[in-house]
């Protein structure tokens, strides 16, 4: 049994205890009404009120335990990392050129921007970003984020028609993800890089209304340093000092393919 299941079981038992306390209070009040002696009746009524107030305390404790007690337990007893989610979403551009010219071209076209950037170093938090932290930095080690999906539109927290290659102009870019086992209050950070340089970021404590798991989480960037420019972009998500997921996309001047040029050659025959 994990910590969350244990907390739920304890809360259920506490609610049952509150129910039994209310029954005991009612029983004492009913007994007091049947007694003729004032001292005994007063004693039973006092016991009934004690059971009633104890039931209120138990109900308050049952409410506090899953919402505030569980995150407090994670702070002192962080669980071992056992991520269970395996992102299965993979996006591959399907744009292919099929020239109809059968002559052998004399010029080979090489794209200026590769649409498959790779991460060469372990992501880390810049010191300037760490200085902005306002919440605790000890996350639940079981926190899991899916691979980022990118789009210029968002609806109900989810990217619309996500892609990995985009065309200028761009106003706002969104990176959507699903998450599990997050702890409200822990600092989370999203770093946006263009060709290896930090151009946009956001960092704040994880909000209570986002909960400990769900779909429709996203990070956004509207005004990167230097504006939106062609290049390879990379977005990294951190919880505390631990990086959780990374996503990449490419921005180009235009998605219109350039047709290859061909030169026909002829050989004169001498007779």
DSSP 130-180: HTT--S-----TT-EEPPPEEES-EETTEESS-BSEEES--S-EEEEEEEE
The per-residue pLDDT for 114 is 45
pTM exceeds 0.85 for this model: no
101 is a domain residue: no
* Exposure b/e, 126-143, CB count within 10 A at least 16 = b: eeebeeebebebbbbbbb
In a domain, 259, yes or no: no
What's the CATH number where 137 sits? 2.60.40.2550
Q: Give the Cα separation of 197 and 131 in Å (integer).
A: 19
Residues paired with 187 in a beta bridge: 205
- pLDDT score of 145: 93
Residue 143 lies in a domain: yes
pLDDT in the model for residue 120: 45
| pLDDT score, position 195 | 95
3-34 and 38-64 helices, crossing angle to 10°: 160
pLDDT of 228 reads 94
pLDDT digits (tens, 9 = 90+) for 234-248: 999 998 888 899 999
What is the total count of domains within the chain?
2
Question: What pLDDT sits at residue 136?
Answer: 75
Instruction: Output the pLDDT for position 37.
Output: 78
Look at residue 62 in the predicted model and tell me its pLDDT. Answer: 85
Asked which of 17, 46, 76 is the last residue of a domain, the reply is 76
Full domain range(s) for residue 163 = 127-252
pLDDT value at position 98? 57
Report which of 62, 49, 61 is spatially closest to residue 21, judged by C-alpha positions. Answer: 49
Rounded CA-CA distance 57/90 in Å is 51
Tell me the sheet residues that pair with 218.
Answer: 176
Quote the pLDDT of residue 152.
94
Say if residue 58 is in the same domain as residue 134: no
In a domain, 45, yes or no: yes
**Is 102 part of a structural domain of the chain?**
no
Residue 103 lies in a domain: no
- What do you get for the CA distance between the two ends of the chain, in Å? 95
Per-residue pLDDT of 131-165, as tens digits, reads 888 767 776 778 899 999 999 999 988 899 999 99
Residues of the chain with pLDDT under 50: 103, 105-120, 264-271
Residue 3 DSSP symbol:
H
pLDDT, averaged across the chain: 80
Please report which helix (H) or strand (E) contains residue 89, including its range: none
Take residue 26 and report the two structure tokens written for it.
């009612």
- Residue 210, helix vs strand vs coil: helix
């Amino acid at each position: 049994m994990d910590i969350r299941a244990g907390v739920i079981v304890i809360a259920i038992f506490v609610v049952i205890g509150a129910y039994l306390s209310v029954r005991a209070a009612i029983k004492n009040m009913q007994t007091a009404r049947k007694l003729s002696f004032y001292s005994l009746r007063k004693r039973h009524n006092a016991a009934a009120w004690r059971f009633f107030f104890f039931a209120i305390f138990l109900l308050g404790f049952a409410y506090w335990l899953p919402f505030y007690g569980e995150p407090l337990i994670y702070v002192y007893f962080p669980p071992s990392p056992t991520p269970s989610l395996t992102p299965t979403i993979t996006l591959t551009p399907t744009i292919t050129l099929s020239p109809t010219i059968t002559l052998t071209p004399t010029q080979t076209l090489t794209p200026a921007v590769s649409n498959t950037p790779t991460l060469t170093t372990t992501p880390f938090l810049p010191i300037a970003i760490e200085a902005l932290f306002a919440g605790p930095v000890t996350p639940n080690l079981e926190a899991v984020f899916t691979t980022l999906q990118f789009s210029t539109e968002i609806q109900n927290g989810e990217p619309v028609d996500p892609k990995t290659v985009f065309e200028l102009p761009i106003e706002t870019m969104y990176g959507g993800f699903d998450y599990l086992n997050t702890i409200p209050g822990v600092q989370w950070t999203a770093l946006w890089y263009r060709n290896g340089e930090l151009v946009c970021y956001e960092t704040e404590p994880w909000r209570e209304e986002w909960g400990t798991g769900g779909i429709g989480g996203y990070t956004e960037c509207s005004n990167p340093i230097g504006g939106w420019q062609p290049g390879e972009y990379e977005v990294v998500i951190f919880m505390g000092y631990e990086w959780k997921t990374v996503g990449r996309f490419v921005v180009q001047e235009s998605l219109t393919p350039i047709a290859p040029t061909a030169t026909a050659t002829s050989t004169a025959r001498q007779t």
